[in-house]
A and B are shown apart, each in its own frame.
Chain A
Amino acid sequence: MGHLILRVTIKLLFAPIILFALYVQFHGDYGPGGGFQAGVIFAVAFILHALGFGIDQTKKALPPEILPWIMVVGLMLYVGTGWFTMMMGENFLSYDVIVPGSHHQAGQHVGIILVELGVGVAVASSMLMIFFHFASREPEVADSDW
């Protein structure tokens, strides 16, 4: 269990970090950012929670059993976009076919958002999975352990 100041700060920061991750995720077309960064920032919010409140509290909020499923869902969102374009009769990941006949390349935008969402979901759950597995080995970290 962390110190009081840490816990209050983490409670204040948790929601803005998640919001920033979503901004980075969906604003990647227009500014710096994208799925990888957003996924990492999303995972960092939960890692902060684990550092402040202890890993068991975080496991209650986000059960580690569902993380492998989310990892697969993220990857399948990416691959599924490719399969969809193939089923529409184009090459793998040729986004133009998603919205055919668009004058402002709407298919590209939709495809990029879907693919980036897949990357973000896969990266966030993978990072959390790695962190949970490392952090679960030692139940409590004393200050003298550093």
Chain B
Amino acid sequence: MADYQTTLSPILIIDLTLLALLLVCAVAMVRVRRLFAVVMLSGIYSLLSAAFFVSMDAVDVAFTEAAVGAGISTVLMLSGMLLTAKREKPIKTGRAPIAMFVCLIVGAALVYASIDAPAFGDPNAPANAYLGKMYVENNWADTQVPNIVTSVLASYRGFDTLGETYVVFTAALAVMLLLGIATERGGKKKLDARAMEAQARREYLEMQAEKERVISGGND
């Protein structure tokens, strides 16, 4: 344990600042009622976590987090928000003490577990010692791909990545089925110029027919 204790280095200060900002962001997201602000804050949260991943040397994860979390999911959340309310309904606080109790218990358990967790970058940690070590040692002989993350993702664990691609594909399929695959505006009445013209013509013809009926009725 003593080997991994560090003084207050610049990296540590950056990490602490980023984590503090993440906490501020999370609390603000819970407090704010305007959904637009919540979506923007979640984008900022993703960007902050991406910066935190960079400081932990996980560049590929940071890249994905910045592109997916901060980029596209913010846009998708905004376009989803347009279909619902703009403000969150005020919540009833009747069961708040129970929720608070559960959160405190779980939080305490997690903090207690983190004392036993291996230090960051510990080569003897189970995650690094067996399979991770095998990837690092055999990667060059097996694949000769300089970026180990890519060779693990696409070569050693090609099946996993195939499953992930299926997940994205299925998500798009589900959105197509839920929001309407056949109609351009998803089942809603579409009123573009041509449809409006057709509707106006239909109403005009109905009016004409009505007029003729009244006239012929008057003759009888």
B214: CB under 8 A from chain A? Answer: no
- Report, as a range, how many residues of chain B touch the other chain: 35 or more
8 contacts between A and B (CB under 8 A): A34-B154, A37-B68, A40-B68, A93-B162, A112-B151, A127-B172, A139-B185, A145-B82
Chain B residue at minimum C-beta to C-beta distance from A113: B154
- Knowing A116-B154, A129-B176, the reply to whether A108 touches B168 (Cβ < 8 A) is no
Q: Which of A42-80 contact B (CB under 8 A)?
A: 43-44, 47, 51, 68, 71, 74-75, 78-79
A79–B162 CB distance below 8 A: yes
Taking beta carbons and an 8 Å cutoff, which residues of A are in contact with B?
Answer: 24, 28-37, 40-41, 43-44, 47, 51, 68, 71, 74-75, 78-79, 82, 92-93, 95, 104-105, 108-109, 111-112, 115-116, 118-119, 122-123, 125-127, 129-131, 133-139, 141, 145-146
Q: Are B175 and A30 in contact (CB under 8 A)?
A: no
Contact across chains for B144 and A32 when beta carbons are under 8 A apart: no
Stretch at the interface among B12-20, B56-64, B97-105, B110-118: B56-64
**B150 close to A (CB within 8 Å):** yes
C-alpha spacing A136/B67, complex, angstroms:
23
Query: For chain B, what secondary structure do more than half of its interface residues adopt (helix, strand, loop), or is it mixed?
Result: helix
* Chain A residues near B153 (CB-CB < 8 A): 34
Q: Which 9 A-B pairs have the closest CB atoms?
A: A126-B172, A134-B79, A93-B158, A32-B59, A108-B143, A133-B179, A40-B67, A105-B144, A112-B154
Evaluate contact between A31 and B147: CB separation under 8 angstroms. yes
Query: What is the count of residue pairs linking A and B with beta-carbon distances less than 8 angstroms?
Result: 151
In the complex, what residue of chain A is closest to B177 when comparing beta carbons? A133
Is B175 a contact partner of A136 (Cβ separation < 8 A)? no
A37 x B63 contact (CB < 8 A): yes
Q: Which residues from chain B contact A127 at a C-beta distance below 8 Å?
A: 72, 168, 172
Chain B residues numbered 23-77 whose CB sits less than 8 Å from any CB in chain A: 36, 59-60, 62-64, 67-68, 71-72, 75-76
B169 in contact with A75 (CB, 8 Å): yes
Judging by beta carbons under 8 Å apart, are B67 and A126 in contact? Answer: no
Assess A43 versus B158: contact at CB under 8 Å? Given A36-B64, A75-B169.
no
A136 touches B82 (CB 8 A): no
Residue of A nearest to B143 (CB): A108
The CA-CA distance from A92 to B71 in the complex, in Å, is: 34
Chain B nearest Cβ from A92, distance in angstroms:
8
Interchain CA distance A121-B169 in the complex, whole Å: 11
Given contacts A34-B60, A40-B68, A137-B82, contact A126 B169 (CB under 8 A): yes
Q: Pick from A79, A108, A122, A133 the residue with the most CB of B within 10 Å.
A: A133
Q: Are B186 and A112 in contact (CB under 8 A)?
A: no
| B contact residues around A129 at 8 Å (CB) | 172, 175-176
Identity of the chain A residue whose Cβ is nearest the Cβ of B141 in the assembled complex: A105
- Known contacts A133-B175, A141-B82; A30/B147 CB under 8 A: yes
A108 to B153, CA, bound (A): 12
Interface readout for B140-180 with A: 1 if CB under 8 Å, 0 if not? 00111111011101110011011011101101100110011
